[in-house]
Structure 1
Protein backbone atom coordinates (compact mmCIF):
# COMPACT_ATOMS: atom_id res chain seq x y z
CA UNK A 1 0.00 0.00 0.00
CA UNK A 2 2.82 2.35 0.88
CA UNK A 3 4.54 1.68 -2.46
CA UNK A 4 1.26 2.22 -4.31
CA UNK A 5 0.77 5.55 -2.53
CA UNK A 6 4.31 6.61 -3.39
CA UNK A 7 3.79 5.67 -7.03
CA UNK A 8 0.49 7.55 -7.17
CA UNK A 9 2.15 10.62 -5.66
CA UNK A 10 4.94 10.48 -8.24
CA UNK A 11 2.44 10.19 -11.08
CA UNK A 12 0.49 13.15 -9.67
CA UNK A 13 3.63 15.28 -9.44
CA UNK A 14 4.62 14.28 -12.98
CA UNK A 15 1.14 15.20 -14.22
CA UNK A 16 1.29 18.60 -12.55
CA UNK A 17 4.75 19.19 -13.97
CA UNK A 18 3.66 18.39 -17.51
CA UNK A 19 0.52 20.51 -17.17
CA UNK A 20 2.69 23.38 -15.94
CA UNK A 21 5.04 22.92 -18.90
CA UNK A 22 2.18 22.98 -21.39
CA UNK A 23 0.69 26.08 -19.75
CA UNK A 24 4.05 27.84 -19.84
CA UNK A 25 4.62 26.98 -23.49
CA UNK A 26 1.13 28.27 -24.25
CA UNK A 27 2.10 31.54 -22.55
CA UNK A 28 5.24 31.76 -24.72
CA UNK A 29 3.19 31.08 -27.85
CA UNK A 30 0.66 33.77 -26.87
CA UNK A 31 3.43 36.33 -26.36
CA UNK A 32 5.04 35.49 -29.70
CA UNK A 33 1.65 35.72 -31.39
CA UNK A 34 1.09 39.10 -29.73
CA UNK A 35 4.41 40.33 -31.10
CA UNK A 36 3.53 39.06 -34.56
CA UNK A 37 0.17 40.81 -34.56
CA UNK A 38 1.73 44.10 -33.42
CA UNK A 39 4.51 43.83 -36.00
CA UNK A 40 2.01 43.16 -38.79
CA UNK A 41 -0.07 46.20 -37.83
CA UNK A 42 3.04 48.38 -37.55
CA UNK A 43 4.32 47.39 -40.98
CA UNK A 44 0.92 48.21 -42.49
CA UNK A 45 0.90 51.60 -40.76
CA UNK A 46 -2.32 50.86 -38.89
CA UNK A 47 -0.89 51.71 -35.46
CA UNK A 48 0.04 55.34 -36.11
CA UNK A 49 -3.27 56.63 -34.77
CA UNK A 50 -2.82 54.73 -31.50
CA UNK A 51 0.87 55.65 -31.25
CA UNK A 52 0.09 59.32 -31.87
CA UNK A 53 -2.61 59.44 -29.19
CA UNK A 54 -0.30 57.87 -26.61
CA UNK A 55 2.55 60.22 -27.58
CA UNK A 56 0.23 63.24 -27.31
CA UNK A 57 -0.83 62.11 -23.85
CA UNK A 58 2.77 62.35 -22.63
CA UNK A 59 3.71 65.31 -24.85
CA UNK A 60 0.77 67.49 -25.99
CA UNK A 61 0.93 69.03 -29.45
CA UNK A 62 3.05 72.19 -29.46
CA UNK A 63 4.68 71.41 -26.09
CA UNK A 64 8.45 71.79 -25.84
CA UNK A 65 8.76 68.73 -23.59
CA UNK A 66 6.80 65.96 -21.88
CA UNK A 67 4.15 66.65 -19.27
CA UNK A 68 5.19 67.24 -15.70
CA UNK A 69 7.79 69.34 -13.86
CA UNK A 70 11.50 69.40 -14.69
CA UNK A 71 12.36 67.00 -11.87
CA UNK A 72 10.04 64.40 -13.43
CA UNK A 73 11.83 64.77 -16.77
CA UNK A 74 15.17 64.10 -15.10
CA UNK A 75 13.72 61.18 -13.17
CA UNK A 76 12.45 59.65 -16.42
CA UNK A 77 15.92 59.91 -17.93
CA UNK A 78 17.37 58.13 -14.89
CA UNK A 79 14.75 55.40 -15.03
CA UNK A 80 15.19 54.82 -18.76
CA UNK A 81 18.91 54.21 -18.19
CA UNK A 82 18.01 51.10 -16.17
CA UNK A 83 17.31 49.42 -19.50
CA UNK A 84 20.46 50.64 -21.25
CA UNK A 85 23.18 48.27 -22.46
CA UNK A 86 25.71 49.81 -20.06
CA UNK A 87 23.61 49.27 -16.94
CA UNK A 88 22.44 45.80 -18.00
CA UNK A 89 26.01 44.74 -18.82
CA UNK A 90 27.20 45.88 -15.37
CA UNK A 91 24.31 43.98 -13.78
CA UNK A 92 25.03 40.88 -15.86
CA UNK A 93 28.72 40.96 -14.92
CA UNK A 94 27.88 41.32 -11.22
CA UNK A 95 25.42 38.42 -11.21
CA UNK A 96 27.63 36.13 -13.28
CA UNK A 97 30.63 36.95 -11.10
CA UNK A 98 28.64 36.03 -8.00
CA UNK A 99 27.44 32.75 -9.52
CA UNK A 100 31.00 31.84 -10.49
CA UNK A 101 32.25 32.63 -6.98
CA UNK A 102 29.72 30.22 -5.46
CA UNK A 103 30.61 27.65 -8.16
CA UNK A 104 27.34 27.78 -10.03
CA UNK A 105 28.98 27.66 -13.45
CA UNK A 106 25.98 26.13 -15.18
CA UNK A 107 23.69 28.82 -13.81
CA UNK A 108 26.15 31.53 -14.85
CA UNK A 109 26.33 30.15 -18.39
CA UNK A 110 22.55 30.03 -18.67
CA UNK A 111 22.18 33.64 -17.47
CA UNK A 112 24.78 34.80 -20.01
CA UNK A 113 23.11 32.79 -22.78
CA UNK A 114 19.68 34.17 -21.93
CA UNK A 115 20.70 37.82 -21.94
CA UNK A 116 23.14 37.68 -24.87
CA UNK A 117 20.62 35.68 -26.89
CA UNK A 118 17.97 38.30 -26.15
CA UNK A 119 20.37 41.03 -27.27
CA UNK A 120 21.03 39.31 -30.60
CA UNK A 121 17.30 38.81 -31.20
CA UNK A 122 16.56 42.45 -30.31
CA UNK A 123 19.05 43.96 -32.73
CA UNK A 124 18.17 41.39 -35.40
CA UNK A 125 14.53 42.44 -35.23
CA UNK A 126 15.51 46.12 -35.39
CA UNK A 127 17.45 45.47 -38.59
CA UNK A 128 14.57 43.45 -40.01
CA UNK A 129 11.82 46.03 -39.42
CA UNK A 130 13.97 49.19 -39.56
CA UNK A 131 11.21 51.47 -38.27
CA UNK A 132 12.21 55.16 -37.97
CA UNK A 133 12.19 56.78 -34.53
CA UNK A 134 9.53 59.31 -33.54
CA UNK A 135 10.40 62.79 -34.81
CA UNK A 136 10.31 64.66 -31.52
CA UNK A 137 12.73 67.59 -31.04
CA UNK A 138 14.79 67.79 -27.89
CA UNK A 139 14.67 64.06 -27.14
CA UNK A 140 17.46 61.72 -26.11
CA UNK A 141 19.96 60.96 -28.88
CA UNK A 142 19.58 57.41 -30.25
CA UNK A 143 21.39 55.48 -32.97
CA UNK A 144 19.27 52.42 -33.77
CA UNK A 145 15.88 51.69 -35.32
CA UNK A 146 12.69 52.03 -33.29
CA UNK A 147 10.93 48.64 -33.50
CA UNK A 148 10.96 46.79 -31.18
CA UNK A 149 12.25 48.75 -28.19
CA UNK A 150 15.51 47.13 -27.09
CA UNK A 151 15.22 48.81 -23.67
CA UNK A 152 11.79 47.24 -23.15
CA UNK A 153 12.87 43.86 -24.49
CA UNK A 154 16.21 43.57 -22.71
CA UNK A 155 14.86 44.86 -19.41
CA UNK A 156 12.20 42.14 -19.65
CA UNK A 157 14.82 39.48 -20.41
CA UNK A 158 17.24 40.63 -17.72
CA UNK A 159 14.96 41.57 -14.84
CA UNK A 160 12.55 38.66 -15.33
CA UNK A 161 15.46 36.20 -15.48
CA UNK A 162 17.01 37.65 -12.33
CA UNK A 163 13.62 37.78 -10.64
CA UNK A 164 13.17 34.08 -11.37
CA UNK A 165 16.63 33.43 -9.93
CA UNK A 166 15.68 35.22 -6.74
CA UNK A 167 12.56 33.09 -6.36
CA UNK A 168 14.95 30.17 -5.91
CA UNK A 169 16.31 31.92 -2.82
CA UNK A 170 12.99 32.97 -1.31
CA UNK A 171 11.60 30.69 1.36
CA UNK A 172 7.95 31.75 1.19
CA UNK A 173 5.30 32.58 -1.37
CA UNK A 174 5.20 36.26 -0.37
CA UNK A 175 8.93 36.69 -0.93
CA UNK A 176 8.75 34.92 -4.29
CA UNK A 177 5.86 37.18 -5.30
CA UNK A 178 7.83 40.22 -4.09
CA UNK A 179 10.88 39.42 -6.25
CA UNK A 180 8.85 38.68 -9.36
CA UNK A 181 6.65 41.71 -8.75
CA UNK A 182 9.75 43.89 -8.48
CA UNK A 183 11.11 42.44 -11.74
CA UNK A 184 7.82 43.11 -13.54
CA UNK A 185 7.62 46.63 -12.09
CA UNK A 186 11.13 47.48 -13.31
CA UNK A 187 10.35 46.10 -16.76
CA UNK A 188 7.14 48.10 -17.09
CA UNK A 189 8.67 51.31 -15.72
CA UNK A 190 11.61 51.20 -18.13
CA UNK A 191 9.26 50.63 -21.07
CA UNK A 192 6.95 53.50 -20.12
CA UNK A 193 9.93 55.82 -19.69
CA UNK A 194 10.91 55.22 -23.33
CA UNK A 195 7.58 56.58 -24.52
CA UNK A 196 7.68 59.43 -22.01
CA UNK A 197 11.08 60.72 -23.14
CA UNK A 198 9.93 60.49 -26.77
CA UNK A 199 12.34 57.96 -28.26
CA UNK A 200 9.81 55.18 -28.91
CA UNK A 201 6.27 54.64 -30.03
CA UNK A 202 3.97 52.77 -27.65
CA UNK A 203 3.82 49.79 -30.04
CA UNK A 204 7.63 49.55 -29.98
CA UNK A 205 7.47 49.05 -26.23
CA UNK A 206 4.55 46.61 -26.34
CA UNK A 207 6.35 44.50 -28.93
CA UNK A 208 9.56 44.59 -26.88
CA UNK A 209 7.70 43.41 -23.78
CA UNK A 210 6.10 40.55 -25.73
CA UNK A 211 9.23 39.13 -27.32
CA UNK A 212 11.43 39.82 -24.28
CA UNK A 213 9.05 38.07 -21.89
CA UNK A 214 8.64 35.14 -24.29
CA UNK A 215 12.42 34.72 -24.54
CA UNK A 216 12.90 34.94 -20.75
CA UNK A 217 10.21 32.31 -20.10
CA UNK A 218 11.59 30.03 -22.82
CA UNK A 219 15.09 30.24 -21.36
CA UNK A 220 13.69 29.46 -17.91
CA UNK A 221 11.95 26.34 -19.28
CA UNK A 222 15.20 25.17 -20.86
CA UNK A 223 17.09 25.80 -17.62
CA UNK A 224 14.64 23.76 -15.55
CA UNK A 225 14.72 20.88 -18.04
CA UNK A 226 18.54 20.84 -17.97
CA UNK A 227 18.51 20.93 -14.19
CA UNK A 228 16.19 17.93 -13.96
CA UNK A 229 18.52 16.01 -16.27
CA UNK A 230 21.47 16.83 -14.03
CA UNK A 231 23.18 19.00 -16.67
CA UNK A 232 22.86 22.07 -14.45
CA UNK A 233 23.69 22.02 -10.75
CA UNK A 234 20.78 22.05 -8.33
CA UNK A 235 20.46 24.51 -5.43
CA UNK A 236 22.86 23.66 -2.62
CA UNK A 237 24.87 21.04 -4.54
CA UNK A 238 28.13 22.81 -3.78
CA UNK A 239 29.13 23.10 -0.14
CA UNK A 240 28.11 26.45 1.32
CA UNK A 241 26.23 27.54 -1.81
CA UNK A 242 22.65 27.58 -0.66
CA UNK A 243 22.15 31.09 -2.02
CA UNK A 244 21.06 30.61 -5.61
CA UNK A 245 19.95 27.79 -7.79
CA UNK A 246 20.13 27.43 -11.52
CA UNK A 247 17.76 29.62 -13.50
Structure 2
Protein backbone atom coordinates (compact mmCIF):
# COMPACT_ATOMS: atom_id res chain seq x y z
CA UNK A 1 0.00 0.00 0.00
CA UNK A 2 2.80 2.42 0.83
CA UNK A 3 4.37 1.87 -2.59
CA UNK A 4 1.04 2.75 -4.18
CA UNK A 5 0.81 5.88 -2.04
CA UNK A 6 4.37 6.91 -2.96
CA UNK A 7 3.56 6.38 -6.63
CA UNK A 8 0.39 8.47 -6.45
CA UNK A 9 2.15 11.27 -4.61
CA UNK A 10 5.08 11.35 -7.05
CA UNK A 11 2.70 11.38 -10.03
CA UNK A 12 0.71 14.25 -8.59
CA UNK A 13 3.91 16.14 -7.73
CA UNK A 14 5.23 15.71 -11.26
CA UNK A 15 1.94 16.92 -12.73
CA UNK A 16 1.84 19.95 -10.44
CA UNK A 17 5.46 20.84 -11.15
CA UNK A 18 5.16 20.55 -14.93
CA UNK A 19 1.63 21.83 -15.43
CA UNK A 20 0.78 24.03 -12.49
CA UNK A 21 4.26 25.08 -11.35
CA UNK A 22 3.23 24.53 -7.74
CA UNK A 23 5.75 25.52 -5.09
CA UNK A 24 3.83 24.08 -2.14
CA UNK A 25 5.46 20.70 -1.47
CA UNK A 26 2.59 19.67 0.76
CA UNK A 27 -0.17 20.31 -1.74
CA UNK A 28 0.15 16.86 -3.37
CA UNK A 29 -0.63 15.24 -0.02
CA UNK A 30 -3.79 17.26 0.40
CA UNK A 31 -4.81 16.41 -3.16
CA UNK A 32 -4.17 12.72 -2.49
CA UNK A 33 -6.41 12.84 0.58
CA UNK A 34 -9.11 14.68 -1.36
CA UNK A 35 -8.93 12.07 -4.13
CA UNK A 36 -9.29 9.34 -1.52
CA UNK A 37 -12.35 11.04 -0.08
CA UNK A 38 -13.86 11.38 -3.55
CA UNK A 39 -13.23 7.69 -4.24
CA UNK A 40 -14.95 6.70 -1.00
CA UNK A 41 -17.95 8.96 -1.67
CA UNK A 42 -18.26 7.61 -5.20
CA UNK A 43 -17.91 4.07 -3.84
CA UNK A 44 -20.72 4.63 -1.35
CA UNK A 45 -22.94 6.08 -4.09
CA UNK A 46 -22.22 3.09 -6.31
CA UNK A 47 -22.96 0.83 -3.36
CA UNK A 48 -26.35 2.47 -2.87
CA UNK A 49 -27.15 2.35 -6.59
CA UNK A 50 -26.20 -1.31 -6.72
CA UNK A 51 -28.35 -1.99 -3.68
CA UNK A 52 -31.36 -0.40 -5.37
CA UNK A 53 -30.89 -2.49 -8.53
CA UNK A 54 -30.60 -5.68 -6.49
CA UNK A 55 -34.16 -5.37 -5.16
CA UNK A 56 -35.43 -7.91 -7.64
CA UNK A 57 -37.03 -11.36 -7.70
CA UNK A 58 -33.62 -12.81 -8.53
CA UNK A 59 -32.13 -11.41 -5.34
CA UNK A 60 -35.14 -12.57 -3.33
CA UNK A 61 -34.66 -16.12 -4.60
CA UNK A 62 -30.94 -15.95 -3.88
CA UNK A 63 -31.57 -14.73 -0.33
CA UNK A 64 -34.23 -17.37 0.29
CA UNK A 65 -32.17 -20.28 -1.05
CA UNK A 66 -29.03 -19.36 0.90
CA UNK A 67 -30.99 -18.68 4.09
CA UNK A 68 -32.88 -21.97 3.89
CA UNK A 69 -29.62 -23.83 3.32
CA UNK A 70 -27.93 -22.26 6.35
CA UNK A 71 -30.84 -22.56 8.80
CA UNK A 72 -31.34 -26.19 7.77
CA UNK A 73 -28.25 -26.91 9.89
CA UNK A 74 -29.70 -25.40 13.05
CA UNK A 75 -28.95 -27.45 16.16
CA UNK A 76 -28.30 -26.60 19.84
CA UNK A 77 -24.50 -26.71 19.53
CA UNK A 78 -24.32 -24.49 16.43
CA UNK A 79 -26.87 -22.11 17.90
CA UNK A 80 -24.71 -21.61 21.01
CA UNK A 81 -21.63 -21.07 18.83
CA UNK A 82 -23.26 -18.53 16.54
CA UNK A 83 -24.86 -16.63 19.44
CA UNK A 84 -21.39 -16.41 21.01
CA UNK A 85 -19.85 -15.26 17.72
CA UNK A 86 -22.54 -12.67 17.11
CA UNK A 87 -21.94 -11.33 20.65
CA UNK A 88 -18.24 -10.99 19.81
CA UNK A 89 -19.31 -8.80 16.88
CA UNK A 90 -21.40 -6.58 19.15
CA UNK A 91 -20.46 -3.56 21.28
CA UNK A 92 -19.31 -5.55 24.31
CA UNK A 93 -17.21 -7.83 22.14
CA UNK A 94 -15.36 -4.92 20.54
CA UNK A 95 -14.79 -3.28 23.91
CA UNK A 96 -13.17 -6.49 25.17
CA UNK A 97 -11.00 -6.84 22.06
CA UNK A 98 -9.98 -3.18 22.25
CA UNK A 99 -9.16 -3.64 25.93
CA UNK A 100 -6.89 -6.57 25.13
CA UNK A 101 -5.36 -4.53 22.31
CA UNK A 102 -4.64 -1.69 24.74
CA UNK A 103 -2.79 -4.10 27.05
CA UNK A 104 -0.84 -5.54 24.11
CA UNK A 105 0.08 -2.07 22.85
CA UNK A 106 1.17 -0.96 26.32
CA UNK A 107 3.25 -4.01 27.20
CA UNK A 108 4.67 -5.11 23.83
CA UNK A 109 4.17 -2.62 20.99
CA UNK A 110 4.91 0.41 23.20
CA UNK A 111 2.63 2.52 21.01
CA UNK A 112 -0.98 3.73 21.19
CA UNK A 113 -1.14 4.61 17.50
CA UNK A 114 -2.59 1.31 16.33
CA UNK A 115 -5.22 1.28 19.07
CA UNK A 116 -6.36 4.75 18.05
CA UNK A 117 -6.39 3.83 14.36
CA UNK A 118 -8.44 0.67 15.04
CA UNK A 119 -10.94 2.65 17.10
CA UNK A 120 -11.26 5.23 14.31
CA UNK A 121 -11.93 2.53 11.70
CA UNK A 122 -14.58 0.91 13.92
CA UNK A 123 -16.24 4.25 14.66
CA UNK A 124 -16.39 5.20 10.98
CA UNK A 125 -17.88 1.84 10.03
CA UNK A 126 -20.47 2.03 12.81
CA UNK A 127 -21.60 5.58 12.08
CA UNK A 128 -21.77 5.06 8.32
CA UNK A 129 -23.72 1.82 8.83
CA UNK A 130 -26.36 3.69 10.80
CA UNK A 131 -26.67 6.22 7.99
CA UNK A 132 -26.88 3.54 5.29
CA UNK A 133 -29.55 1.60 7.18
CA UNK A 134 -31.76 4.67 7.40
CA UNK A 135 -31.22 5.58 3.77
CA UNK A 136 -31.94 2.10 2.37
CA UNK A 137 -34.65 1.25 4.93
CA UNK A 138 -34.83 -2.52 4.42
CA UNK A 139 -36.87 -4.61 6.84
CA UNK A 140 -35.51 -7.68 8.61
CA UNK A 141 -36.27 -11.19 7.31
CA UNK A 142 -39.72 -12.49 8.24
CA UNK A 143 -38.42 -15.78 9.63
CA UNK A 144 -37.85 -16.78 13.25
CA UNK A 145 -35.24 -14.63 14.98
CA UNK A 146 -33.08 -16.48 17.50
CA UNK A 147 -31.78 -13.18 18.94
CA UNK A 148 -33.49 -9.84 19.45
CA UNK A 149 -32.90 -6.99 16.99
CA UNK A 150 -34.21 -3.45 16.85
CA UNK A 151 -32.58 -1.76 13.84
CA UNK A 152 -33.08 -2.07 10.09
CA UNK A 153 -31.51 -4.80 7.98
CA UNK A 154 -29.28 -3.53 5.16
CA UNK A 155 -26.30 -3.49 5.30
CA UNK A 156 -25.53 -5.75 8.23
CA UNK A 157 -23.88 -3.73 10.99
CA UNK A 158 -22.24 -6.84 12.41
CA UNK A 159 -20.75 -7.79 9.03
CA UNK A 160 -19.66 -4.25 8.24
CA UNK A 161 -18.02 -3.64 11.62
CA UNK A 162 -16.38 -7.07 11.64
CA UNK A 163 -14.86 -6.54 8.21
CA UNK A 164 -13.71 -3.01 9.07
CA UNK A 165 -12.31 -3.73 12.54
CA UNK A 166 -10.91 -7.23 12.24
CA UNK A 167 -9.93 -6.59 8.62
CA UNK A 168 -7.86 -3.64 9.79
CA UNK A 169 -6.33 -5.81 12.53
CA UNK A 170 -5.33 -8.30 9.83
CA UNK A 171 -3.58 -5.45 8.01
CA UNK A 172 -1.78 -4.37 11.20
CA UNK A 173 -0.70 -7.94 11.99
CA UNK A 174 0.69 -8.31 8.48
CA UNK A 175 3.05 -5.40 9.23
CA UNK A 176 4.33 -6.74 12.57
CA UNK A 177 7.72 -8.40 12.75
CA UNK A 178 6.69 -11.50 14.66
CA UNK A 179 6.95 -15.24 14.22
CA UNK A 180 5.45 -16.14 10.83
CA UNK A 181 3.46 -19.06 12.20
CA UNK A 182 1.90 -16.81 14.85
CA UNK A 183 1.31 -14.03 12.31
CA UNK A 184 -0.52 -16.21 9.80
CA UNK A 185 -2.41 -18.03 12.53
CA UNK A 186 -3.79 -14.74 13.84
CA UNK A 187 -4.63 -13.52 10.34
CA UNK A 188 -6.51 -16.74 9.51
CA UNK A 189 -8.25 -16.64 12.90
CA UNK A 190 -9.51 -13.09 12.35
CA UNK A 191 -10.57 -13.91 8.78
CA UNK A 192 -12.51 -16.92 10.09
CA UNK A 193 -14.08 -14.71 12.76
CA UNK A 194 -15.22 -12.21 10.14
CA UNK A 195 -16.82 -14.99 8.11
CA UNK A 196 -18.38 -16.57 11.20
CA UNK A 197 -19.93 -13.29 12.32
CA UNK A 198 -21.46 -12.82 8.89
CA UNK A 199 -22.87 -16.35 8.74
CA UNK A 200 -24.16 -16.09 12.32
CA UNK A 201 -26.51 -13.28 11.34
CA UNK A 202 -28.08 -15.41 8.63
CA UNK A 203 -28.19 -18.51 10.85
CA UNK A 204 -29.91 -16.56 13.64
CA UNK A 205 -32.53 -15.34 11.16
CA UNK A 206 -31.89 -11.61 11.53
CA UNK A 207 -30.27 -10.85 8.15
CA UNK A 208 -30.56 -11.71 4.48
CA UNK A 209 -27.37 -13.01 2.79
CA UNK A 210 -27.33 -9.81 0.69
CA UNK A 211 -27.23 -7.80 3.93
CA UNK A 212 -24.03 -9.62 4.85
CA UNK A 213 -22.51 -9.15 1.39
CA UNK A 214 -23.30 -5.44 1.50
CA UNK A 215 -21.82 -5.13 4.98
CA UNK A 216 -18.62 -6.89 3.96
CA UNK A 217 -18.22 -4.64 0.90
CA UNK A 218 -18.82 -1.43 2.84
CA UNK A 219 -16.51 -2.54 5.66
CA UNK A 220 -13.73 -3.38 3.21
CA UNK A 221 -14.06 0.07 1.64
CA UNK A 222 -13.39 1.60 5.06
CA UNK A 223 -10.34 -0.63 5.58
CA UNK A 224 -8.78 0.41 2.27
CA UNK A 225 -9.64 4.07 2.76
CA UNK A 226 -8.25 4.24 6.30
CA UNK A 227 -5.07 2.37 5.40
CA UNK A 228 -4.49 4.84 2.56
CA UNK A 229 -5.12 7.88 4.75
CA UNK A 230 -2.98 6.60 7.63
CA UNK A 231 -0.12 5.88 5.23
CA UNK A 232 -0.38 9.33 3.68
CA UNK A 233 -0.28 10.92 7.15
CA UNK A 234 2.73 8.82 8.12
CA UNK A 235 4.62 9.72 4.94
CA UNK A 236 3.64 13.37 5.34
CA UNK A 237 4.94 13.52 8.91
CA UNK A 238 8.22 11.83 8.04
CA UNK A 239 9.13 13.56 4.82
CA UNK A 240 6.95 16.12 3.03
CA UNK A 241 9.47 16.17 0.15
CA UNK A 242 9.19 12.60 -1.08
- TM-score, normalised by the number of residues in structure 2: 0.72
Q: Say whether 1:162 aligns with 2:169.
A: yes
3-state SS, counterpart of residue 229 of structure 1: helix
Instruction: Report 1:132-151 matches (<5 A).
Output: 132-151=139-158
Q: 2:210 aligns with which of 199, 203, 222?
A: 203
Larger mean CA deviation between 88-97 and 122-131 belongs to 88-97
Tell me the distance in 2 between the aligned counterparts of 1:105 and 1:228: 18
- Judge conservation of contact 1:28–1:217 (CA < 8 Å) in 2: no
Matches within 5 A, 1:177-188: 177-188=184-195
Q: 1:160 to 1:133 in 2, by over 3 A?
A: same
- The corresponding residue for 1:6 is none
Alignment match, 1:55: 67
Q: Which residue of 2 aligns with 1:63?
A: none
Q: What is the rounded CA distance, in whole Å, between the counterparts of 1:152 and 1:74 in structure 2?
A: 19
Aligned pair 1:120/2:120, yes or no? no
Instruction: Supply the distance in 2 between the matched residues of 1:198 and 1:14 (Cα, whole angstroms).
Output: 43
Q: State the distance in 1 between where 2:164 and 2:56 align.
A: 28
Contact 2:5 2:232 in 1 (8 A): no
Normalised to the residue count of structure 1, the TM-score between the two structures is 0.71
Contact 1:163 1:182 in 2 (8 A): no
User: Structure 1: which 5+ runs fail to align?
Assistant: 1-12, 60-65, 232-247
Q: 1:153 to 1:51 in 2, by over 3 A?
A: same
Tell whether the 8 Å contact from 1:167 to 1:175 is kept in structure 2 after alignment.
no
The answer to whether the 8 Å contact 1:153/1:208 transfers is: yes
- RMSD between superposed Cα atoms in Å: 3.3
| Larger relative contact order (CA 8 Å, sep ≥ 6) | 2
Distance 2:146 2:194 in 1: 21
Distance 2:234 2:149 in 1: 40
Higher helix share: 2
Aligned residue pair count: 209
Contact in 2 for aligned 1:34/1:210 (Cα 8 Å): no
